[in-house]
Amino acid sequence: MRICLAVLMALLALPASAASMSERLLDIQHRWAEIQYRLDEDKRLEAFEELAAETKTFVADYPDRAEPLIWRGIVLSTRAGAEGGFSALSLVGTAREALEKALEIDPEALAGSAHTSLGSLYYQVPSWPLSFGDDEQARKHLRKALAINPDGIDPNYFFGDFLVEQGEEKRARTYLERALNAPERPDRPVADKGRRQEIRALLETL
């Protein structure tokens, strides 16, 4: 009884903002997955715009935490992908700024997701003078993400996808298969299912 009471008192002592941030983070993650993998393509841009506005508020509410910045970067990146064209370039620039700031605060937050997302931006956006695309920077960040989270679905998928872009298909298969067999994330089933569909589709092209 004494131990249970001590645990209860410790939980009550936790700041309400900590629970609130976790809940809001999970809500944004779930909504992103629903938009990305379940919403009709013609409705995604508007939905991502609304979610991006929410991440801006989220960052403002927790300016010293890396997690809101990481998800602002992710949402802006996928919004840019949905929008396309030159107008998307400013969005990816803002996404990069958010992810770089997250790295300054905590490079290992969310299992190194800032490195994963920043690395994916570096190989997917055009290079100078149109944008900041840089394969060396992409490789560096993706390797750092794998060092932090070697078995994760996202770092393995994005490094595999990067290697495909580089023409290293044999090496790419290793990472894509590792991503396909990555441990399930119980709190993100929609994201995992959608990512595995992308992995299988990419493997079929090799």
What are the residue ranges spanned by the domains of the chain? 25-205
Distance CA 6, CA 182 (A): 37
Q: Which of 49-58, 124-133, 136-145, 185-194 has the lowest mean pLDDT?
A: 124-133
Q: What pLDDT is stored for residue 158 in this prediction? A: 98
Element containing residue 187 per DSSP (H, E): none
Distance CA 17, CA 147 (A): 30
What type of residue is 122? Y
Q: What is the CATH number of domain 25-205?
A: 1.25.40.920
Q: Determine the average pLDDT of the residues in 10-16.
A: 40
Average per-residue pLDDT in the chain?
91
Whole-model pTM: value is 0.89
- Inter-residue contact 45 to 79 (CB < 8 Å): yes
Q: Determine the average pLDDT of the residues in 24-51.
A: 96
Q: What pLDDT is stored for residue 6 in this prediction? A: 43
Q: Which of 25-39, 87-101, 104-118, 142-156 has the lowest mean pLDDT?
A: 87-101
Three-state SS at 127: strand
Encode 66-81: b = buried (16+ Cβ within 10 Å), e = exposed: bbbbbbbbbbbbbbbb
> What is the residue whose two structure tokens read 């996404």?
95
User: What are the phi and psi torsion angles at 127 (to 5°)?
Assistant: -85, 175
Query: Residue 99 corresponds to which tokens in the numbers above?
Result: 């992810």
pLDDT interval class at 83 (50, 70, 90):
confident
Structure confidence by residue, pLDDT tens digits, 139-175: 999 999 999 999 999 999 999 999 999 999 999 999 9
